[in-house]
Chain A
Amino acid sequence: MSPFDASPLSPSGGAHVRSVVDEFHGDLLEVSMGPHHPSTHGVFRMIVTLDGERIVKLKPVLGYLHRNHEKIGESTSYLGSMPYTDRLDYLNAMTNNWAYALAVERLGGLAVPERAEYLRVILAELSRLQNHVCLAGFLLQDTGASGTPLMYAFREREKILELFESLSGSRMMCNFQRFGGCRTDASSEWLGQVSSLVNGFGAFLDEFEELITGNEILMARTQGVGVMKGPAAVSAGITGPMLRACGVGYDIRKVDAYGIYPRFTFRVPIGSHGDTYDRYMIRILEMRESIGILQQALRDIPAGPIMDPKAKLRGFRPKPGESYGRIEGPKGEIGFYLISDGSANPYRYRVRPPSFVNLTLLEDLCLGHTIADSVVILGSIDIVLGEVDR
């Protein structure tokens, strides 16, 4: 038992200015980082206890953005919940939509036309590209790279968001997927635009990596920082790039083979150290794989309908039962669990948010590192508070 356990730290941390006397280490300093802090990626709060600059205790405080998402889902129709899912992980509306649509399709036994499946893959991979490029930019900003990588990243992200906007009408709140297909069809011009973006993306990644990946300061700041071991990650339920950076090759696109992913050839990059640098690099490598998937999908996309004719969007009443739909979102396993009692609203609507689950190991990753590292580690976890707090 560390001497710290006996100290009268109140978990609520109401008083912000407090130091705790520790007979072995001298004074500890408790700093409340957040909810108003430039680097907590939203209204997230970390109560950090510092011994000098070293973290001896870190307590995440969540819930500042809680808005009853799941309860609202239970009193809303199946279709009505679709735009709400945009607001979970507001960087990745497309994948949230898809996961929810998948859950409802399994509940209602709906099939998805070929073209819609291709569109979903294209949009999900575009979503992954813009999420990962954002993450790389934010992470480098957290290491103090003065905005240059962030601006480069946002230039590319903006191009993808413009494609989302021209297809769905909204840059981020896309509300695009429907159970049984998609809302609008993509024109051939739009697909051509995607094609030219995808073909240029590899060159952008090369430029980005040229700028920063080999930088010695970046390696010093991220290598060996926030090391997570594979078994710990698995038992904590970590998914997505976070898990793969620890060397566990678990990708739901491969494991579940949902949608039409088995048709595409792509590889799943895995790290060996599980540190922040690996988490950064895994995302860069995943973007390169996504480019391959996108090129294959754009080459093969067939013509045809985009909605299952059996699908009934309004007044949809599935038979009583339960279903779980999950996909490999950019941040990890995004899943929706639904129980139907035969009425127009789900009896239970439950979200499995990847950011929230990935965040659970934050303290273990940060202990022993400095306060500057905690910001970088948090950045490498890739959280969106809309999804964490729901």
Chain B
Amino acid sequence: MNAAQDTGETLLERAPQALRDLLTSHLPEPWRWFANSLIAIVAILAVFGLLFAALTLAERKILGRVQNRPGPNRTGPFGLLQPIADGIKMLSKEDIVPRDADHLLHFLAPVTLLASSILAFAVIPYGRHLIPVELDAAVLYFFCVGATTELAVFMAGWSSHNKYSLLAAMRALAQLISYELPLLLSWLPVVMISGTLSTTGIVAAQSAWRWGWMPTWHVFTPWGLAGFVIFMVAALAESNRSPFDLPEAESELIAGHLTEYSGCKYVFFFMAEYFGMTALSGMAVTLFLGGWHAPLPSLEFIPSYVWFGAKLITLLMGFIWIRATFPRLRIDQLTRFAWKFLVPLALVNLGTTAFWSLSFGWTGPLLAARCTVAVILVVVPFVLLGRRLSSGLTPRTYSYAP
């Protein structure tokens, strides 16, 4: 499948596997799969739990730097212990449930949300041998699990018996349903090209090298780039991140569906948001950025999971950067952006991909024609739809009183 396999793998590449086998090899055979699964679960929770902690700190630090301030720097060296202090604070807070709230739903909402966001980690290939669960329909599973967040956010908003929460719940539904469509449409081309719903298969489809050095990641094709951008924008909206953080828009809705949550339950929401963001970024890496593959053949000596982590963190930093920069959209603008811009663009992208797939064998001048047509199919709808979307919005010139 990959050139690196022929040359033999480094010790580091096999290290996680070897470590697991060391732990489970003395167990009787029937128990081994169970122990293996358990170890995978613990590893995921530990790694992404730590990543969550690091991410909250990184976000606050980066936001601080962007905004001319140092960010947290009092707990531990450079504020590195801040996540721990935050955790202790949040967990020791009183859990307040409004008297008129639906207690069961109020409790279930954060649990559902967190559970579904953790489940999404199951099918992402983190490295050459690191995939917790091999599923034939892994991508489908991933987005089905992701769709549960809508239910959980609505549960939270409805059960809180707070008007801000209710408004937030309505917004969340409108937003998540609107963006579910472009999100799903944006990765369909990948399935069309690679012919599989299995994440391992999709990564394998991006393993070749063109001209001996250029990776054949999907993002380096016209349809792949368009799909990647649509995917990331929809992922921003799906994970309620700025500029699409309407359900918890603090300027008008206090904290939206989180208004009546405190302590541990609030942490669950918070974790779920970051887990969701991480999982969607991981899926973007898998679908479009070549998964765990190195960007250059000469760099393949570095373990595959390092490459996956590097790509993942790059995407997450993008999320933070966007948060530091943009104002928030309004709900009608948000849905308009989805239905009138992203969805048509994603639909056209399906056509582009079909063309790309049909013209697979073209060579010579036909290859140039193939690339040109594909680029036109991506750029022209983007420009036309974008112009319609932003019509009437211009910087203005001002006159002065006589």
A residues at B contact (CB < 8 Å): 16-17, 29, 31, 33, 37-39, 50, 52-53, 140-148, 151-152, 155, 211-221, 223-224, 244, 249-251, 254, 267-273, 277-278, 281-282, 285, 370-376
Contact = CB atoms under 8 A, between A and B. Distances in A.
A146 B398 contact: no
A269 B328 CA distance: 28
B68 A373 contact: no
B163 A39 contact: no
A72 B246 CA distance: 45
Contacts of B164: 31
Contacts of A220: 329-330, 333, 390, 393
Residue of A144, A220, A370 with most chain B CB atoms under a 10 A cut-off: A144
A282 B328 contact: no
A376 B327 CA distance: 11
Residue of A39, A50, A52, A145 with most chain B CB atoms under a 10 A cut-off: A145
B63 A146 contact: yes
A143 B251 contact: yes
Nearest to A379: B251
Interface residues of B, number: 44
Nearest to B100: A17
Contacts of A270: 398-401
15 contacts: A17-B163, A53-B331, A140-B327, A144-B327, A215-B326, A217-B243, A220-B330, A223-B393, A249-B400, A268-B400, A269-B398, A272-B399, A370-B330, A374-B252, A375-B252
B327 A372 contact: no
Nearest to A140: B327
Contacts of A52: 170
Given A142-B251, A223-B393, A244-B401, 5 more contacts: A145-B328, A213-B395, A268-B400, A375-B251, A375-B252
A372 B67 contact: no
The list of the 5 closest CB pairs from A to B, nearest first, reads A249-B401, A144-B328, A151-B67, A267-B400, A143-B327
B330 A373 contact: yes
Contact of A151 (B68, B246, B249, B325): B68
B66 A148 contact: yes
Given A217-B329, A281-B396, A144 B401 contact: no
Nearest to B394: A219
B250 A38 contact: yes
B77 interface: no
B323 interface: yes
B177 to A, nearest CB: 16
Residue of A17, A143, A254 with most chain B CB atoms under a 10 A cut-off: A143
A173 B398 CA distance: 35
B163 A221 contact: no
Contact of B69 (A140, A151, A372): A151
A372 B331 contact: yes
A212 B325 CA distance: 8
Nearest to B331: A53
Residue of B67, B251, B333, B400 with most chain A CB atoms under a 10 A cut-off: B251
Contacts of A250: 401
A221 B326 CA distance: 12
A267 B328 contact: no
Contacts of A146: 63, 242, 323-326
Contacts of B326: 145-146, 215, 217
A282 B400 CA distance: 10
Given A144-B249, A148-B325, A31 B167 contact: yes
Given A53-B331, A147-B67, A223-B393, A371 B167 contact: yes
A363 B69 CA distance: 37
B13 interface: no
Interface in B372-402: 390, 392-396, 398-402
B324 A219 contact: no
Contacts of A38: 250-251, 254
A282 B396 CA distance: 11
A221 B401 contact: no
B245 interface: yes
Contacts of B69: 151
Nearest to A144: B328
A179 to B, nearest CB: 31
Contacts of B330: 220-221, 370, 372-373
Nearest to A370: B330
Nearest to A19: B163
Contacts of A218: 327
Contacts of A31: 163-164, 167
A213 B393 CA distance: 12
Contact of B331 (A216, A254, A277, A370): A370
Contact of B402 (A249, A269, A372, A373): A249
A38 B390 CA distance: 30
A221 B327 contact: yes
B95 interface: no
B68 A39 contact: no
A251 B401 contact: yes
A118 B273 CA distance: 55
Residue of A155, A220, A254, A373 with most chain B CB atoms under a 10 A cut-off: A220
Contacts of A371: 167, 252-253
B329 to A, nearest CB: 6
